[in-house]
Structure 1
């Protein structure tokens, strides 16, 4: 829709280049392209995308603006609707059903299309009420580094859905999406697996299947079976840590990285690093797993201890707090020989600090004493400081330690 030249985009984000929907040559090209593609792929659906059009090139193109006036097209949303309907005609001609993101749902478009919803359950419900088939992807974006429990409890048809039983039939399921801006062949398996197995179970199970603890017990076994079939989400972890330590011992680094996770949602793009296709995705944040099993198990152990005061739980908590408290001094020589991990040195120090806080809280709880105000103020300040991310990673045992401190009040 704008004069060239164009080139392959190497940065990430929503870009300006947009196809010109007012030219007949556009539809001739798409007809030929779709003809080739539909002959190769037998699936009954053809995904047209349809989102992230910022409209800048349409606004700046005089001929497009003139076309809109002549055809009573009032804005870019309606222009895209015009384009989608033309595309639908071509796909129908080639024997395919059109699927696209929420944006393709416009007044008057035939019920034969399918909506893939990135907006969420409310948008999916609306399209289902209007008689359109749909699948949910909101809540299944596995590149956002959210825990398996979050995905597992995200049902395409919630228990409180306003849909009638008949309308519920319009929601066919969901699809996990792995957007690949921040992954490489070395890391992609660790971003997809094993969390996507939890999504799979969500989508083939009834709403009443929602026992998160039971899911995690089985997910560990599934993770092992996936590796047996050749996936690299487990084995590449140690390999990447060895590279980060310049072939030194990875023991101390692993103790730290085992309890940290990459920052969530799209935060990684906004923390001082400009990522491109050429960026080296070989840092600690790339080795760190999307969900720390060690942190999750520790936090749960704390919860169970606070509920039961079980002595064995207390021993487990103390073991890990002792390990983390002493780890920083052991890691410093490794950091001095491996500048690439210098960025997470403050994280290591913070883990030591809050582990000491946790040990002190554990003693107070065992003795049945309330914490002095001065101690509480210092402990809470250290915990708040430890929530700061470094190297686009965060400590994830903070919740458990914070709960220990709260229990001493």
Structure 2
């Protein structure tokens, strides 16, 4: 499309406007405030030459809050309400650029493509929504374009299914905040959700399961209710893709391979290394049975991809590639012969062989593959892009090798994590990713130079739905974090001005209310953290509202409007329960937050770690281990540190020599999530932090017997430094989820008495 100029003629008077605050999300790259204001009229005059689909979208979006009348007119270059065609040709480099100029009489939009025009309309819609009551929009000029080409959101429809209408709503939410990529996770162990006409059993058998896991993973409970059959027909897929295209959103389908394949193997067991039988998984987690890399498997996957490629015009096809246990391949004679025949190093090399063979086929079809960062195992396929989720390492490695990467590290971009105090939030998978943390993310890793940074395509957030059973909950988990992600992706986020962003978010809540979207109000709740204080700790409370409204108690009772007024961090020198809440005009306005403290001689002391925790489970860093908070074994929220394949080696400086007789720590077992109890633990003491003497050692049996709650009687000791080494279980043994992968070790609190 050629560049266009849009003019709306207003049928009203005007006056000067002095307001300069704009509650736009994402914030534009450049805004210039002008004199005057645009008075919102009853009738908007639209030129008949305007891009039809985008303009109809604009009218529908505004029709709910603003009952506009529209007039359409054609005309020449001198008509103020006309579109003036541009002479320059389309500019692919500026396809998402736009300018928006609002004068007291007119609104002009200039863009090089329909896509840029559509993005400009999103800005204009937000301005109309913001000023629908006072009917006055400030005169301004906006010059805008995104920083990143890939601005994505993912939705898992395998663990729990969502209807076509709900998926369309999800796409609408992305469009509202200028996202341009919808990653549709369509196949997994728990369900196959896309019709493949050549293989009808995929949906006949693979789209249903006999029951579903409920509650916390460690409870191992099931609902006993058949789930499905649920899947999308090819006609429904086409409908969704068309709907997204009309909103200038690319739909990227994901067909998982070689792992996460149980639903497919339930339909076609001959594609496995063993005979089966198989059934779609009822538990969450990772399973040993995966696609076997034999010719009939590749024929099957190529035929599936043929139909997928026909349905999705996306340049990229996502082929998964994550969490593929090698247990079956190690035991499979065909796999071992394939390794020898192709001079592959090991089963990781076999995974690379698998991915490269699929990539060649997809490339022949004129498409490219993208996969989770495990596709780096054994060597990256020649043209593959990497979606970096286990941290930033995969993205860094890909970019340095001149492969494109999309950054989606779990520690910032997993929206199935808790976004507020786990005690006041719905059950979630784990982790802690509040709004401000999402907003703080920079998708360009510091390790990359300017040339390498060009290979970072953009950023994406993922919504896995193990614990999200309905669309109401989907809304809760993505809003308002989607707003933070959109500004990060647009390239205008500024963590130093988070409060200003938060105010814009709260302004957007009015729009979400009118759309009846169930957004999380977690930012209204008390935000709390433990901080070092006078060689101990203090409890710091904050709120997005007036901090004078915070009330708290120390005796375990619920706070009231007459409880203690929070002024400074609350010192915690003994074990106690702190409860807090926000009040306004004497009325409770937030959830009541509760935090129990268990204070020991280690609480608040200086602590160092020999190995750092995983990015996904590192909230608070080493200090989390001496913050006086005992973690909930059913909630992998902000109180736990997670270490994959690493030991915990922590040294605590007590500040002076102290006597003690007990050391305790807490670890966790959740084998379905690859979390194993420690193999052993040792306690050492020192007076100079150089020469350490071991005073206690326990093995796996004692740790298992204590179920992770370890209390060690170390006799009468007197030392300044205490070192605790908690040994990781190492490589997960066969017969367990994630076999042959590095085990996770979770630790929450180290205490000394």
Q: TM class, shorter-chain normalised?
A: 0.5 to 0.7
Distance 1:24 1:298 in 2: 55
Alignment partner of 1:4 out of 267, 276, 286:
276
- Residues 1:295 and 2:517 aligned together: no
Q: Choose from 483, 497, 515 the match for 1:197.
A: 483
Residue 173 of structure 1 pairs with residue 453 of structure 2: no
489, 509, 518: which one aligns with 1:223: 509
Does the alignment pair 1:140 with 2:413? yes
* 1:298 CA displacement: 11
Query: Compared with structure 1, are the counterparts of its residues 226 and 210 closer, same or farther at alpha carbon in structure 2 (3 Å cutoff)?
Result: farther
Describe the superposition over 1:366-409 as per-residue Cα deviations: whole angstroms up to 9, x where unpaired: xxxx99xxx9435589840595567957999xxxxxxxxxxxxx
* Distance across 2 between alignment mates of 1:292 and 1:108: 43
Residue in structure 2 matching 1:37, options 291, 304, 308:
308
Counterparts of 1:360 and 1:232, CA distance in 2: 32
Deviations 1:203-260 (A, max 9, x none): 11246564211121111222332343342336xxxxxxxxxxxxxxxxxxxxxxxxxx
Deviation at 1:119, TM superposition (A): 2.4
In the superposition, relative to structure 1, how do residues 351 and 165 fare at CA in structure 2: closer, same or farther (>3 Å)? farther
The verdict on how the C-alpha distance between 1:76 and 1:97 changes in structure 2, with shifts beyond 3 A counting, is: same
Q: 1:110 to 1:73 in 2, by over 3 A?
A: closer
The normalised TM-score by structure 1 is 0.62
5 Å-filtered alignment, 1:250-269, equals: none
Aligned with residue 149 of structure 1, among 412, 432, 436: 436
Cα deviation for residue 36 of structure 1 reads: 0.4
Task: Report which structure shows greater RCO (CA 8 Å, sep ≥6).
Answer: 1
Deviations 1:269-289 (CA, angstroms, capped at 9, x unpaired): xxxxxxxxxxxxxxxxxxxx7
CA distance in 1, matches of 2:378, 2:400: 14
Q: Give the Cα–Cα distance (whole angstroms) in 2 for the partners of residues 191 and 149 of structure 1.
A: 15
Residue correspondences, number: 291
Secondary structure in 2 aligned to 1:125? Answer: helix
Find the counterpart in structure 2 of residue 19 from structure 1: 291
* Aligned twin of 1:280: none
Given that 2:439 and 2:495 are in contact with CA atoms closer than 8 Å, whether structure 1 keeps it comes out as: no
1:62-77 aligned at under 5 Å gives the runs 62-77=333-348
Determine which of 574, 577, 588 is the counterpart of 1:377: 574
Q: Flag the structure with higher helix content.
A: 1
Judge conservation of contact 2:318–2:369 (CA < 8 Å) in 1: yes
1:212 pairs with 2:498? yes
Distance 1:350 1:49, change over 3 A: farther
In structure 2, what is the equivalent of residue 100 of structure 1?
Answer: 371
Q: How does 1:315-326 map to 2 (within 5 A)?
A: 316-317=549-550, 320-321=551-552
Once residues 56 and 210 of structure 1 are traced to their aligned partners in structure 2, the CA distance between those partners, rounded to angstroms, is 47
Aligned position for 2:385:
114
CA contact (8 A) 2:349 2:379 kept: no
1:297 Cα shift? 9.1
Give the direction of change, closer, same or farther, for the CA distance of 1:379–1:17 in structure 2 (3 Å limit). Answer: closer
CA distance in 2, matches of 1:294, 1:216: 13
Distance 1:85 1:298 in 2: 47
- Following TM superposition, by how much is the alpha carbon of 1:134 offset from its aligned partner in structure 2, in angstroms? 0.4
Gaps of 5+ in 2: 1-272, 419-432, 531-538, 579-594, 599-627, 639-753
Give the Cα–Cα distance (whole angstroms) in 1 for the partners of residues 299 and 635 of structure 2.
Answer: 48
| CA distance, structure 1, for counterparts of residue 457 and residue 391 of structure 2 | 14
SS at match of 2:466: coil
CA contact (8 A) 2:528 2:541 kept: no
TM-aligned CA distance change 1:107 to 1:389, over 3 Å: closer
Q: Which structure's residues are more often strand, by fraction?
A: 2
Q: Distance in 2 between matches of 1:391 and 1:168?
A: 40
**CA-CA distance at 1:150 after TM superposition:** 0.9
Please say if residues 111 and 131 of structure 1, whose CA atoms lie closer than 8 Å, have aligned partners that are also in contact: no
How far 1:11 sits from its partner (Å)?
0.4
Of 120, 123, 126, the residue aligned with 2:397 is 126
Per the alignment, do residues 350 and 8 of structure 1 end up closer, same or farther by CA in structure 2, a change over 3 Å counting?
Answer: farther
CA distance in 1, matches of 2:322, 2:506: 36
Distance in 2 (alpha carbons) for counterparts of 1:233 and 1:350: 30
What do the CA deviations read for 1:1-20 (whole angstroms, capped 9, x no partner)?
22111111110111111001
Structure 2 distance, partners of 1:201, 1:135, is 16
How far the C-alpha of 1:62 sits from its partner, in A, is 2.1
Q: 2-side partners of 1:68 and 1:387: how far apart? A: 49
CA positional deviation for 1:26: 1.2
CA contact (8 A) 1:116 1:136 kept: yes
Normalising by the residue count of structure 2, what TM-score does the alignment of the two structures yield?
A: 0.35
Shift, 1:63, TM fit: 2.4
Structure 1 stretches of 5 or more lacking a match? 235-288, 306-311, 326-348, 397-409
CA contact (8 A) 1:128 1:168 kept: yes
